[in-house]
């Protein structure tokens, strides 16, 4: 029998790992040349990448930026002594069209301003790293720049002065504020600024006004619809319960929008005409059209999808069946069918003479389509939550809506982020399908650009440019979702 007893007399100190497994050389050896098959794969991949780039870069690096037609491009390529190359003249000449479609050139500042303002409006929603002060300062700065760029006359100067004073006031606060968080800052005497989400809410009405123009009273009257709905809710809910109040509030809001907004706005405009030059929907095009459809559909389909997901789990049979029916129907039908319905069939059902904007119809269809997908993604997140979370919320006395808002949804949505963002990226790319019903999104425009005799035959450059534009936007969405997942990671697994 051998002696199995052992006693350690001194504890070992910590040591560095061996050099061959750390540092650059260690990394290369471990990841690229770890054994024969791995080394062969590495060399083959490098050879393939070299082969692709050796064809792509000479094609891409082509001195044709100023070419005026495809023939002209070919002459330039020949003069440079190259055999073939891209014809970038088409992008140089047509990029404003690919971005804006036929939006009047002198009014293009409006969509640009709308999309810059959109980022200011999104900051408090998407990030929590900048303070209220910075947000308001940024907004004033953007508006100041816009007024300086397009405005003239006394009013413009007055507005500029107001904005400059605002910037100085908020800027002074930014410079002088001390303290780590808001509570400290307020204790130290900082002024409490309004929540920037107020602007985000107002932007919902500012954006269509900037894009389509027309009287200012239309967005104001439309915004008032929420007030009407809220009033109806407050009036009804104490007597008949929250659900009845909610239903009636939503119905009143829609009735206000569909029936009363138009007359009220035109009446008010008769009294005090203030507005922007209107732009027709058929002039919308290019990336502007894609982004408009995409942004509106994304921001409306998320809340709608959440409601549908909750409806699908509801104990109320009617609500449940309606949600299931809606989700299954919409998911069972190709988006293109819905777009055809929007384009041709809806007019048949509308009373004669109603002018229901084609872009609005497409947006509604895209929204419903992605809401059905979002509902299923969110349902997956809900299913992944342990039952104990619901029980803990119940046991603390939280009612259904509070439990959903404070406990369930924050966690379910966090789990669903990758799925939600995939759905949104898919939706944004699907906006190119509107070219099939005759709207001039970038793909639709590329067809009409190629119909020009000067550019007949240009394919790669146009599609490549459009792909590049879409890639920038979808890649940002994907990176944002990764940032959000990192920020919300609290489980420390």
Partner 1 sequence: MSSIEIERDVDTSHMQVSDKVAIEIRNMNKWFGAFHVLRDIDLTVYEGERIVICGPSGSGKSTLIRCINRLEEHQAGSIVVDGTELSSDLKNVDKVRSEVGMVFQHFNLFPHLTVLENLTLAPIWVRKTPRKEAEEIAMHYLEKVKIPEQALKFPGQLSGGQQQRVAIARSLCMKPRIMLFDEPTSALDPEMIKEVLDTMIELAEEGMTMLVVTHEMGFAEKVANRVIFMDAGQIVEQNAPSAFFNNPQSERTKLFLSQIL
The binder of partner 1 chosen from 398, 417, 437, 477 (CB under 8 A): 398
The binder of partner 1 chosen from 386, 451, 472, 486 (CB under 8 A): 386
In this chain, which stretch among 152-160, 229-237, 345-353, 389-397 interacts with partner 1, using CB under 8 A?
A: 389-397
Q: Is 314 an interacting residue with respect to partner 1 (CB under 8 A)?
A: no
Query: Which one, 171 or 380, has the nearer CB to partner 1?
Result: 380
Instruction: Report the distance separating Cα 436 and Cα 166, nearest Å.
Output: 47
In this chain, which stretch among 89-97, 113-121, 390-398, 440-448 interacts with partner 1, using CB under 8 A?
A: 390-398
User: Long-range contacts: 400-405, Cβ < 8 Å, 24+?
Assistant: 404/310
468: Cβ contacts below 8 Å, ≥ 6 apart: none
In this chain, which stretch among 90-98, 225-233, 370-378, 398-406 interacts with partner 1, using CB under 8 A?
A: 398-406
Helices 89-100 and 460-487 sit at what angle, rounded to 10 degrees? 50
Q: Is 392 an interacting residue with respect to partner 1 (CB under 8 A)?
A: yes
Instruction: Report the distance separating Cα 357 and Cα 355, nearest Å.
Output: 6
**CB-based contact 443:435 (threshold 8 Å):** yes
**CB-based contact 376:327 (threshold 8 Å):** yes
Instruction: Report the distance separating Cα 145 and Cα 74, nearest Å.
Output: 42
Q: Is 493 an interacting residue with respect to partner 1 (CB under 8 A)?
A: yes
The binder of partner 1 chosen from 184, 277, 357, 391 (CB under 8 A): 391
Q: Is 8 an interacting residue with respect to partner 1 (CB under 8 A)?
A: no
| Secondary structure, 3-state, 250-306 | HHHHHHHHHHHHHHHHHHHHHHCCCEECCCCHHHECHHHHHHHHHHHHHHHHHHHHH
Q: Is 184 an interacting residue with respect to partner 1 (CB under 8 A)?
A: no
Within residues 399-418, the interface with partner 1 by CB under 8 A covers: 399, 402, 406-407, 410-411, 414
Query: Which one, 13 or 386, has the nearer CB to partner 1?
Result: 386
**CB-based contact 430:368 (threshold 8 Å):** no
**CB-based contact 334:324 (threshold 8 Å):** no
**CB-based contact 336:345 (threshold 8 Å):** no
Q: Is 397 an interacting residue with respect to partner 1 (CB under 8 A)?
A: yes
Q: What backbone torsions phi and psi does residue 192 show, to the nearest 5 degrees?
A: -85, 115
In this chain, which stretch among 229-237, 267-275, 336-344, 385-393 interacts with partner 1, using CB under 8 A?
A: 385-393
Query: Which one, 238 or 334, has the nearer CB to partner 1?
Result: 238
Helices 442-450 and 89-100 sit at what angle, rounded to 10 degrees? 140
In this chain, which stretch among 26-34, 62-70, 344-352, 382-390 interacts with partner 1, using CB under 8 A?
A: 382-390
Q: Is 488 an interacting residue with respect to partner 1 (CB under 8 A)?
A: yes
In this chain, which stretch among 5-13, 126-134, 224-232, 391-399 interacts with partner 1, using CB under 8 A?
A: 391-399
Residues within the interface to partner 1 (CB under 8 A): 386, 388-389, 391-392, 394-399, 402, 406-407, 410-411, 414, 488, 490-493
């Amino acid at each position: 029998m051998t002696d199995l007893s052992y006693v350690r007399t001194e504890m070992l100190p910590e040591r560095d790992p061996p050099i061959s497994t750390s540092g650059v050389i260690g990394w290369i050896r471990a990841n690229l040349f770890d054994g024969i098959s791995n080394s062969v794969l590495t060399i083959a991949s490098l050879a393939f990448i070299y082969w692709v780039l050796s064809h792509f870069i000479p094609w891409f690096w082509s001195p044709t930026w100023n070419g005026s037609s495809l023939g002209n491009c070919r002459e330039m390529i020949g003069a440079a002594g190259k055999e073939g190359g891209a014809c970038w003249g088409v992008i140089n000449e047509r990029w404003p069209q690919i971005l804006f479609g036929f939006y009047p050139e002198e009014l293009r500042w409006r969509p640009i301003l709308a999309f810059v303002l959109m980022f200011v409006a999104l900051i408090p929603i998407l990030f929590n790293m900048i303070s209220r002060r910075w947000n308001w300062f940024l907004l004033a700065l953007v508006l100041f720049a816009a007024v300086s760029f397009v405005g003239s006359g006394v009013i413009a100067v007055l507005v500029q002065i107001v904005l400059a004073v605002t910037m100085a006031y908020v800027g002074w606060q930014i410079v002088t504020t001390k303290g780590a968080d808001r509570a400290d800052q307020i204790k130290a005497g900082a002024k409490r600024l309004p929540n920037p989400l107020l602007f985000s809410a107002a932007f919902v009405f500012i954006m269509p006004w900037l894009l389509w123009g027309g009287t200012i009273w239309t967005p104001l009257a439309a915004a008032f619809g929420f007030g009407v709905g809220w009033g109806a809710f407050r009036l009804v809910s104490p007597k008949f319960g929250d659900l009845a109040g909610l239903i009636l509030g939503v119905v009143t809001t829609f009735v206000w929008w569909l029936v009363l907004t138009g007359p009220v706005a035109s009446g008010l405009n008769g009294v005090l005409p203030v507005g922007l030059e209107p732009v027709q929907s058929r002039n919308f095009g290019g990336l502007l059209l894609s982004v408009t459809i995409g942004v509106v559909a994304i921001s409306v389909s998320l809340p709608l999808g959440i409601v549908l997901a909750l409806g699908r789990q509801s104990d109320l049979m009617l609500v449940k069946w309606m949600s299931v029916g809606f989700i299954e129907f919409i998911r069972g039908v190709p988006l293109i069918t819905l777009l055809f319905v929007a384009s041709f069939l809806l007019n048949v059902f509308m009373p004669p003479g109603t002018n229901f904007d084609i872009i609005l119809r497409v947006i509604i269809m895209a929204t419903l389509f992605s809401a059905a997908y979002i509902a299923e993604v969110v349902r997956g997140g809900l299913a992944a939550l342990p039952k104990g979370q619901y029980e803990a919320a119940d046991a603390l006395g939280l009612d259904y809506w509070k439990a959903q808002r404070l406990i369930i949804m924050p966690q379910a949505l966090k789990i669903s982020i990758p799925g939600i963002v995939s759905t949104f990226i898919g939706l944004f790319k699907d906006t190119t399908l509107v070219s099939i019903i005759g709207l001039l999104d970038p793909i639709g425009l590329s067809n009409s650009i190629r119909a020009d005799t000067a550019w007949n035959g240009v394919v790669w450059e146009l599609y490549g440019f459009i792909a590049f534009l879409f890639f920038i936007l979808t890649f940002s969405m994907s990176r944002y979702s990764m940032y959000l997942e990192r920020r919300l990671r609290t489980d420390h697994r």
